[in-house]
A and B are shown apart, each in its own frame.
Chain A
Amino acid sequence: MKTDDLVTMLATGTGPVQPNQVLRRYSVAVGLGALGAAALMLVLIGPRPDLAAAFLLPMFWVKIVFVACLAAVSLLVALRLSRPGMRLSWLPGALAAPVVAMWVLAAFVLIRAEPALRAQLFFGDTWNSCPFLIATLSAPAFVAVFWAMRGLAPTRLRLSGAASGLLSGAVGTLMYSVHCPEMDAPFIGFWYLLGMLIPTVVGALLGPRLLRW
């Protein structure tokens, strides 16, 4: 087939393209991922029993805002990576900001604490299950976000896979926060982040294989 014939073939009978498909795919993916994570949380581990009381604590909301910021920025990163030729510009900095803020808060908390209490602030009571449970709750969003990206056109596959993984990790963590009793900054700044990094690394490993087009 000659190139001119290909051009004619591609242009013939081509109808209008629905606008905003990129945003629409991600809305569906994040919505389904969040629903899936909520369902898994309710079935596997349940919300924390003192949830109503926790709503009144500032640190509960600091935790939610931290995770929500990571979810929002990684969504923006994924949106840009899904379109060829888009630059990330200020987004990597915006991704680092909530992490740095949480670490500053954690350092402040640790410095002010009695030395004997520092280990408890860092390990909490659930350090050994937290990252694993976060990764588990991220699984539905991971599948959904990869589906969204596969229908688009990422050109940097490893990075795109990592961004998809981080986005799904943040969505899963948001639901995990409803279950998790921990509220100390050192715990959140390390174990939550570790949990979100599990799907991120898996995404970076699978990206080049799953996202090719």
Chain B
Amino acid sequence: MEEASQGRRTEERLRQLLIRGLAGDAHAYRAFLQDLSGHLRAFLRKRLARLPNEVEDLVQESLLAIHNQRHTYDPGQPLTSWVHAIAKYKLVDLLRRRARGDLLTDPLDDADDLASSADSEAAEARRDLGKLLARLPDRHRLPIVYTKLEGLSVADAARRAGMSESAVKVGVHRGLKVLAGMVRSEAMDED
């Protein structure tokens, strides 16, 4: 009973943070992702009990996916189902890549909520997104490095990279999608 109402509170708090984030509030968006990574970690750790080394990579892959697909969130929709559908999609994708269905230790469709568990203890990710980022072509890499790692404004980043402002924006957007694609194909190469 108490767990359920706590779940609703967490859901509502995270939902408000995301909605403010989607409206352009970067602080709220950061708090949303920060909180969410703990929930994702708990969610995935439970389902990857036999592959503990994969958990942190999958948390990162899911965060990147949630960011890249954030325009598909409908504010009228429960946040939990949206987040879990994305995490499950990435989880199934991973398991399929490994082509080892027997690693599924837990039924995927049990409906626990975001608050049932949170795990803020981040293990080391095995895959280094920073290294993948360095392999992006300049038109994607420079906008991401300048605006998202060094925190420059779009105008300053455009000046420094010698690109137009819209090219910087497109570069960030496309670059993060390419990065997600690299994560996928790299994970495939491992096996």
The B interface, classified by DSSP as helix, strand, loop or mixed, is helix
**Residue among B24, B68, B85 with the most chain A CB within 10 A?**
B85
Interchain CB contact under 8 A, B37 and A84: no
Q: Which of B1-9, B45-53, B58-66 contacts A (4 or more CB under 8 A)?
A: B58-66
Interface members, chain A 130-170 (any B CB < 8 Å): 152-153, 155
B177 contacts across to A, CB distance below 8 A: 213
Query: Which of B69, B84, B147 is the one whose CB lies under 8 Å from A12?
Result: B147
Q: Name the A residues within 8 Å of B30 (CB-CB).
A: 7-8, 11-12
Q: Is A1 touching B125 in the complex (CB atoms < 8 A)?
A: yes
CB neighbours of A12 from chain B (8 A): 26, 30, 147-149, 151
User: How far is A1 from B57 in the complex, measured between Cα atoms in Å?
Assistant: 10
Chain B: which residue is nearest A151 at the CB level?
Answer: B71
Nearest CB to that of B70 among chain A residues? A17
Q: Is A116 located at the chain interface by the 8 A CB criterion?
A: no
The answer to whether B129 and A82 have CB atoms under 8 Å apart is no
Cα A1 to Cα B67 with chains together (Å): 16
Is B88 an interface position by the 8 A CB rule? yes
Q: Which residues of A have CB within 8 Å of B85?
A: 84-85, 155
Mark interface residues in A1-31 (1 if CB within 8 Å of B CB, else 0): 1111111111111111111011000000000
Decide if A85 touches B23 in the complex (CB within 8 Å): no
Could you tell me which residues of chain B, from 138 to 183, have a CB within 8 Å of some CB in chain A? 144, 147-149, 151-154, 169, 172, 176-177, 180
Within the assembled complex, what's the spacing in Å between the Cα atoms of A9 and B59? 15
Instruction: Number of A interface residues at 8 Å Cβ cutoff, please give it.
Output: 31
Whether A82 pairs with B56 at a CB distance below 8 angstroms is no
> A82–B73 Cα gap in the complex (Å)?
10
Chain A interface, DSSP helix/strand/loop, else mixed: loop
- Is A83 close to B, CB under 8 A? yes
Cα distance A2–B41 in the bound complex, in angstroms: 13
Chain B proximity of A109: nearest CB distance (Å): 43
Q: Does A212 contact B (CB under 8 A)?
A: yes
- Note all chain A residues with C-beta closer than 8 A to B122: 2-4
B137 at the interface (CB under 8 A from A): no
Is A86 at the interface (CB under 8 A from chain B)? yes
The reply to whether B77 and A14 form a contact with Cβ atoms under 8 Å apart is: no
* Cα distance A10–B59 in the bound complex, in angstroms: 14
Q: 29 A-B residue contacts at CB 8 Å?
A: A1-B60, A1-B133, A2-B124, A3-B122, A4-B37, A4-B122, A6-B129, A7-B63, A10-B64, A10-B176, A12-B148, A13-B147, A13-B172, A14-B21, A17-B22, A17-B23, A84-B72, A85-B77, A85-B85, A86-B74, A86-B77, A86-B81, A152-B69, A153-B86, A155-B85, A212-B93, A213-B68, A213-B69, A213-B180
